[in-house]
Amino acid sequence: MNVPADLKFAPTHEWLRPSDGCVGISDHAQAELTDIVYVDLPKVGTTLAAGQTAAVVESVKAASDIYAPAGGEVVEVNEALAANPALVNTDPYGEGWLFKLKEAAGADTLMDATEYGKQIAA
């Protein structure tokens, strides 16, 4: 599994890039969900608390809640996912990002890549 060292991870498989507030789901999570067919993103301007439901990802298997890995205001959403939700599968750490948070509060409590790697290996 791909676990980039520059990201922080929530136990629920969301990632946060502290440098720009970008949020998505891990490679492990997208593999478990299989083919993603729809993504319901939060509205820009929404303020989220860490752990709050932020989005919903629907795959051919099930719909899954996506939780905010940290608190903050949603300042941007990935509009490309409306036309191509499969980007979450093909590039979960790049073009498949979900939304961006301003001032991601609580990011310091998230797991680093090594800790997350141990979680998904268990």
Q: What whole-number distance in Å separates Cα of residue 12 and Cα of residue 92?
A: 15
CATH number of the domain bearing residue 41: 2.40.50.100
57 in a domain, yes or no? yes
Range of the domain at 95: 8-105
Mean pLDDT of 49-61: 96
76 in a domain, yes or no? yes
Share of the chain above pLDDT 90, in %: 93
Q: What is the pTM of this model?
A: 0.95
118 in a domain, yes or no? no
17 in a domain, yes or no? yes
